[in-house]
Structure 1
Amino acid sequence: MSYGNQGDGGYGSQPPGGGYGQQPPSGGGYGGGYGQQPPSGGGGYGQQPPSGGGYGQQPPSGGGYGGGYGQQPPSGGGYGGGYGQQPPAGGNPPDNHLVAAILTTIFCCMPLGIVSIVKSTQVNSKWQVGDYQGAALASEEAKTWWKRTLIAGIIWWVLVILFYVVVFVLLAASVPSSSY
């Protein structure tokens, strides 16, 4: 008995010797038992169609993601394949730059520093769930943001010092000098 293209197995394959929808053969009584189909050639509700078709049939596998339930999508493997990949050699998470992010937030520029702290806290959480590429990317972003914070802080403090120097020079020039 053939059920069409069943492949090598999988979710839709039929057991040997019969299908899921067929009734067991039994004799006697009125029609042979509960739910049994009459032995006619036209088939019934419980029998599979004799040609290709039916609910249990596997789709044809040809590449891509539509090849069947049991096939896995192709993975690039290595570092950055996504969740479930093996950690890179060494097994340690990348540097999260948390200390630099906190110090630049306190001493330099708070708005940019908060972004660097958020990025640095994402490093370890992404590493723990297996997103190694995401952890490396978050580490690089944290480093970029604390450096931006440091540069903004340096520019800010240089401007503050220049402001006080200019104010001091203007005040000193406006004070009359006395001569004895």
Structure 2
Amino acid sequence: MEGPQRDPPIAHGEAPMVVSAVANAAFEEDPPPYSPPDPKSVHLLYPPFHAGFSLPQVPVTYQPGPGHGAFPPQGIPPAPLPYALRGCFVPQNDGEPSAGTSAAGHGQRRPKDYMVESVLVTIFCCLLTGVIALVYSHETRAALGRGDMAQANVASKKTQSLVLFSLLFGLFASITWVVYVLVVLYL
């Protein structure tokens, strides 16, 4: 076993050295929140590709907006879409266009937006929940416009629930008011 370690002897003319450690206060607590790397330093994180490397050339297709001609463009085979095409011409296997929906949207019904019902319950039944129902019915229309059937279904169900709640609350308040007036007048 070794004994305790000793400092080397100090030569004549040397002063003893004092060593102290200072802790960095920035690393004593929790780390700072994550921030993405600076885009200017991305070349340091990801080195460039070597000279012989090339990406495979894949055709990029863009879906045209409404009124921009037939979909898909000529020469590009049809592919399954995540939403239904309504009112568009989708080519079949024989190349002849036929009106209809894609395979992804087959059998799905468009959800109802309940806009008229929302306006009516806002005016006649309950202002607060009626306005919220109007917001959700607008969200349903927007989701249908961009082809997001899942979001349209969720917003439609919320709108339906709010319209029903507003209607029942309005009926309850009306009946309660009539009963109150009758009791006050005749008792």
TM-score, normalised on structure 1? Answer: 0.47
The structure whose Rg is larger is 1
